[in-house]
A and B are shown apart, each in its own frame.
Chain A
Amino acid sequence: MPTVAVMIKQVPDTNAKISVQGGRVDLSSVKMEMSPYDVFAVETALRHKEASGGSVTAITVGGAGSEKILKDAKAMGVDNIVRVWDDSWGELDSNGLQSVLKQAIEALGVDVVYCGKSAADTGAGSTGPGLAERLGWSNASNIIGAEFGDAVIVSMPVEAGVAKISVPLPAVISCDKGDVKPRKANVKGIMMAKKAQVELMTATAPSSTVAIANHSMPAAKPAGKTFEGGSSASQVVQLLRDEANVI
């Protein structure tokens, strides 16, 4: 029976406005939540367990403030919740983050790791494939469906359409939205999550080679031209040719 892990990350609510103060994003008044694609990863991990048995452990890397999303995952039905952290870490670069995750995954004896295709803050999508490489495992990214057996058969968009790909375990698999509807936590799940213990783990992080210099707001766009009525669409098409040069 597989030991399943799912990596989740806390990010600002995707409906929130973002502002920058003193060269850094100001998140003091923004609600934090589990990154939306990670919710699909939790659902996929739970379905894997329901098909094959075993257990699901949700893992996040972060300070004590990130425990809420672990409780949210617990309320959805994961068995164990783990927070990996050391107060000396500060901002980990991808090399650091993947190194500490590798140590945690090895310590937990995991067979398959799920994660969201990218986190809604950086949008990078580096962690899944990077972790797989460090572990020497197979990976598949941006999957939109999965069937569970000795290997996981994933559906994944490729150049020509959608491919069904056999991914042998151990593996790291990143999830897009796809066809699965994530379950909602029920009252019993929420009550159990309240009482659940977060297991703390630590690891050794290599020093960073990439450091955040600053955050900034994107340059504002100059005001555009506005036209009234559907017939003005012909003028706009002409401007797209003459002024914008894109048609």
Chain B
Amino acid sequence: MTNKIVIAELTKGTINPATAELVSAAQSMGGEITVVVPCTDATTADAAASYDGVAKVIAVKSEVFAGNDSSGWASALDSAIPNGTVLCLATARSKDVASRLAARRGLSIVQDVVSIEGSNLTSPIYSGKANQTVTANGDVVLTVRANVFNAVGSGSSNDVSVVDASGDVKTAVQEVMQRASARLDVSEANIIISGGRGMGSPANFTHLEAVADTIGAAVGASRAAVDTWEEIPHSMQVGQTGKTVNPNLYIAVGISGAIQHLAGMRSSKYIVAINKDADAPIFQHADYGIVATWEEALPVLQDSFSTLLG
């Protein structure tokens, strides 16, 4: 049973709680677990010290982790972590870093793992239309989807060792255009409300935004909406040629449920569909379906959420 190295997910400079899910994924593979925390300040790693089931916590301190350069991240991590099977969270940046780290070590990589049985790793393919199970012989690097594994408990007090590292940064940030809206991106939200062509016009997306702001959701869109209206950017698109999401709650409004769209959101924990057409395919995938126009349903939805959340 080889060592398992969990790379903590860094979100806005702190450890993303889904890191505790990575530890539990590592446990299901067996072996001794080391949690590695990439950071610019070693106190960041304190949050990992309480994880149960962990043998070691290593804070890898480097300025490269303040930036986005995958080469810098992968080379700094490579220099500081032991050999073994490496687990990262399947976010855009970590998938990139994990790919470089695997290549650097001459290992294969398995992305977007949602189920582990020993050395059998299962990931969705065709954006979730099917699953693929692979068998890993020896060490690999894998990325694990958030919201799939249960988090380990946090009653321990592990020692944290600190390693200074430097990385081979190859690219340079010239400027960052801050996101105009404070609203979350669909790829990082726990709740998403998406609109389709049934919304009638892009201006009507303000009604979705109002609900989103009440419940702290991100606003998404179907490919039909993105292709039809220039005002709806591709960054909002959920589906096989947009973003694949698995939030706790997905609310689809005026979306019929094309295969393309279903592929990107079907693994959401709970799905609510609002559509005036009772035969829309989306209802076959919804936990709760509301057959109504969005004009009728959204004001009620908004009021009910407001009342509930006070």
Contacts and interface: CB of A to CB of B under 8 A. Distances in A.
Interface stretch (A46-54, A55-63, A73-81, A208-216): A208-216
Nearest to A135: B103
Interface residues of B, number: 100
Contact of B241 (A120, A122, A162, A217): A120
Contacts of B97: 129
Given A233-B301, A236-B272, A247-B249, A218 B288 contact: no
Most buried by A among B191, B267, B278, B286: B286
Interface stretch (B40-48, B158-166, B198-206, B291-299): B291-299
Interface stretch (A13-21, A106-114, A183-191, A192-200): A13-21
A165 B135 CA distance: 37
Interface string B37-75: 000000000000000000000000000000011110010
B133 A247 contact: no
A127 B96 CA distance: 9
B296 A230 contact: yes
Given A163-B68, A226-B291, A129 B96 contact: yes
Contact of A166 (B95, B100, B174): B174
Nearest to A35: B241
B136 A210 contact: yes
Contact of A125 (B111, B135, B234, B301): B111
Interface residues of A, number: 88
B103 A134 contact: yes
Given A131-B103, A163-B173, A210-B136, A239 B288 contact: yes
Nearest to A30: B126
Interface string B108-124: 11111000000010011
B111 A123 contact: yes
Interface in A157-189: 157-168, 171, 176-178
A14 B288 contact: no
Nearest to B234: A177
A84 B260 CA distance: 30
B260 A14 contact: yes
A234 B109 CA distance: 46
Contacts, number: 294
Contacts of A95: 102-103, 106-108
B172 interface: yes
B181 to A, nearest CB: 10
A202 B145 CA distance: 35
Give the secondary structure class of B's interface.
mixed
Interface string B270-296: 111010001000010111111111011
A167 B171 contact: yes
Give the secondary structure class of A's interface.
mixed
A29 interface: no
B1 interface: no
Interface stretch (B17-25, B27-35, B148-156, B302-310): B302-310
Given A121-B126, A131-B103, A232-B292, A157 B235 contact: yes
A1 interface: no
B222 interface: no
A162 B173 CA distance: 10
Interface string B197-229: 000000000000000000100000000000000
A28 interface: no
A211 B134 contact: yes
Most buried by A among B108, B191, B234, B258: B108
Given A163-B68, A247-B215, A247-B309, A158 B176 contact: yes
A156 B92 CA distance: 11
Given A132-B70, A164-B177, A210-B137, 14 more contacts: A15-B259, A95-B103, A133-B99, A158-B68, A161-B176, A163-B176, A166-B173, A206-B106, A218-B267, A228-B292, A230-B292, A230-B299, A233-B304, A236-B304
5 contacts: A25-B130, A123-B127, A141-B70, A157-B92, A237-B308
10 closest pairs, A vs B, by CB? A230-B296, A138-B170, A237-B304, A133-B103, A233-B300, A129-B99, A230-B297, A161-B179, A130-B103, A230-B292
